[in-house]
Amino acid sequence: MTDNLVPIVSILSAALAVGFGAIGPALGEGRAVAAAMDAIARQPEAAGTLSRTLFVGLAMIETMAIYTLVIALLVLFANPFV
Amino acid sequence: MTIDWWTLGLQTVNLLILIWILARYLFRPVARIIAERQAATHAALDEARAAREEAEAARATAKTETAEIARIRAELLSRAQEDAKHERAHLLETARAEAEKARAETRAELARLREAQKEMVAEEAGALAADIAGRLVGRLPDTVKIDGFMDGLVGAVSELPEATRTGIGAAGPVSLRAARALTGDERTVLETRLADLLGRTVTLEIEEAPELIAGLELDARHAIVRNHFRADLDRIKSELANHD
Amino acid sequence: MDSPLTLETLFNIGPVPISAPVVVSWVIILALGLFAWLATRRLSLTPSKTQTVLELLATTVDGQIRDTMNRDPAPFRALIGTIFLFVLVANWTSLIPAVEPPTAHLETDAALALVVFVATIAYGIANRGIKGYLATFAEPSWVMIPLNLVEQITRTFSLIVRLFGNVMSGVFVVGIVLSLAGLFVPIPLMALDLLTGAVQAYIFAVLATVFIGAAAGETSGDAPSEKENKPS
């Protein structure tokens, strides 16, 4: 059991990291999309600029989740304690 | 976690090579062609602008020419009007002058006519007066025609200048015109009175002249002594004619 | 499942181990170079379709650089444009079967970020001089020097990890779904990968522009260099 402790903790921590790390970007993306929809509803003629900016912003927000994914992968595949 | 440093280095070199290749073969030619097109567009725009400016200049020239033509026309018109005005004034002047002249002529004609008429009237009046005088005298006795005037004739002769008086009857008979033929008495009376006045005998050569109406007319050599109605009437008539 | 963090050496050229991303990069370089050479061999003032696309690309890159830096885009055009094109094409190589995008490995992203990092310093020094560039670390006051130094490193790492994570996760997810579900199921995910790849290429290029522009010193509004007043 103790031999397997580090992999078990690693997997758990990876899952936790991705799970919790996804919450923030998810909320942020939701807010961003809601705001963009609101803006497009107000100004349909600016929809092109808004959606382009929205995609870039979403990608930036998504990057936060990607960071946690990278951390999780590091923990899983490149764990320095294994 | 391991980083393959060889791969990192190779990828960096790859990337630099790609940057060089694309800069050399993609971005520089494309940017150049874009700049060329922009230059061409600018040139075309400049050309168009130049053409437009040229056209505008031509239009401005045309406008100024039109204005010049209009000005010349206006000038000609005004000059023609001026000339016409002058001409009209001149014509008016001439017409007025002619009218004036015609009026003056008419007036002169009128005056002349009136003069002639007056003369005629005077003539007629003279004739009438002579007629009247003749008739009136005709009612008087015949002696009156001579007697009444004998004193006047003698008086008039006596008033003649000395030179003239001496000339009377010096060379032959004195011609005397009388309203009627003198009787012998009357003739002698007259001859004696004249002889008294002149201091020498005078022979009279009597000529009957009924137009004298009444009176005598002595024809001296240098003077005619008139003492008769006709002369009086003539004088009155000429006075009347000259009066106005 | 293979770790996405490790690299297999395909073959060796002398002492140099050559891995798959390097080979794919070579192919990409060859393809791009050939395409560029063929496409720009005869350019004309009345553009063909290809030329129109290329001109649109160049104009867009110029516009982005001008918007971000407020200066003449000519010195930065090749760098930014190449980074954008390379990242885009590399991301989209995930469509080709049995080819992993080079950007799905840390080394390629690190090389890109390294180029951007060096370019940042080079343009900063070129535009401000060494003293002027070093002085930018003390802005707005000397207290910020450690923070600015750390920012230089962290933003480069952020650049690396953002691109790496996005592309790698896309490949990873497609691989997992492919191993679980079968042949046609990952197609929507691959389409998403296309979008993500394009967006990430755009973000990488924009961030590189922002970093270089900040270092080159238009936005700081301080110590005006002779290039700053150049009309764009």
Residues above pLDDT 90, as percent of chain B: 22
The owner of tokens 């050229």 is C13
Cross-chain Cβ contact C5/A74 below 8 Å: yes
- Using CA coordinates, name the residue in chain C closest to A77: C3
- Calculate helix-pair angle for C49-69, C187-216, nearest 10 degrees: 50
Q: Which residues of B touch A81 (CB under 8 A)?
A: none
**Which chains touch C (3+ CB pairs under 8 A)?**
A, B
C40 within some domain = no
* Cα angle value C184/C189/C193 (rounded, 5°): 130
Please determine, for residue C218, whether its predicted confidence score (pLDDT) is greater than 70.
no
**Which chains touch A (3+ CB pairs under 8 A)?**
B, C
**Tokens read off for B53:** 């400016």
Domain range summary for chain B, segments of one domain joined by +: 141-242
Residues above pLDDT 70, as percent of chain B: 94
Residues of chain A with pLDDT under 70: 1-2, 82
Give residue C186's pLDDT: 83
- Do residues B168 and B205 make contact, with C-beta atoms less than 8 angstroms apart? no
C225 C-beta neighbours (distance < 10 Å), count = 15
Domain total in chain C: 1
- In this predicted model, which residue has the larger pLDDT, B7 or C4? B7
Type of residue found at B182: L
C121 within some domain = yes
Q: For B141-242, CATH number? A: 3.30.2320
Q: Is this model's pTM higher than 0.90 or not?
A: no
Q: Which residues of C touch A73 (CB under 8 A)?
A: 3-5, 168, 172
User: Quick one: pLDDT band at residue B57, thresholds 50, 70, 90?
Assistant: very high
Number of Cβ pairs < 8 A linking chain A and chain B: 4
Q: Which residues of A touch B2 (CB under 8 A)?
A: 78
pLDDT in tens, B71-99: 999 999 999 999 999 988 988 888 888 88
**Spatial separation of the C-alpha atoms in residues C152 and C117, rounded to whole Å:** 8
- Do residues C120 and C133 make contact, with C-beta atoms less than 8 angstroms apart? no
- Using CA coordinates, name the residue in chain A closest to C202: A56
**Tokens read off for C176:** 């997992």
> For an interface test with B, which of C5, C16, C40 has the most B Cβ atoms less than 10 Å from its Cβ?
C40
Query: 3-state class of B216 per DSSP?
Result: strand
Give residue B175's pLDDT: 77
* Cα angle value B237/B240/B243 (rounded, 5°): 150
pLDDT in tens, B16-48: 999 999 888 888 888 888 888 889 999 999 999
- Do residues B201 and B78 make contact, with C-beta atoms less than 8 angstroms apart? no
| C85-144 residues touching B, CB cutoff 8 A | 85-86, 102, 105-108, 110-112, 114-115
- Do residues C31 and C86 make contact, with C-beta atoms less than 8 angstroms apart? no
Beta strand B174-178 with B204-208: parallel, antiparallel or unpaired? parallel
C181 within some domain = yes
Among residues B121, B122, B132, B114, which one has the least CA distance to residue B238?
B122
pLDDT in tens, B140-176: 777 777 777 777 777 777 777 777 777 776 666 777 7
Domain of C111 in residue numbering reads as 45-220
Beta strand B215-219 with B224-228: parallel, antiparallel or unpaired? antiparallel
- In this predicted model, which residue has the larger pLDDT, A27 or B233? A27
- Do residues B163 and B203 make contact, with C-beta atoms less than 8 angstroms apart? no
Give residue B46's pLDDT: 93
C179 within some domain = yes
Cross-chain Cβ contact A69/C165 below 8 Å: yes
Give residue B170's pLDDT: 67
Helices (H), B140-183: 144-158, 162-167
Count of residues for chain B? 244
**Spatial separation of the C-alpha atoms in residues B18 and B24, rounded to whole Å:** 10
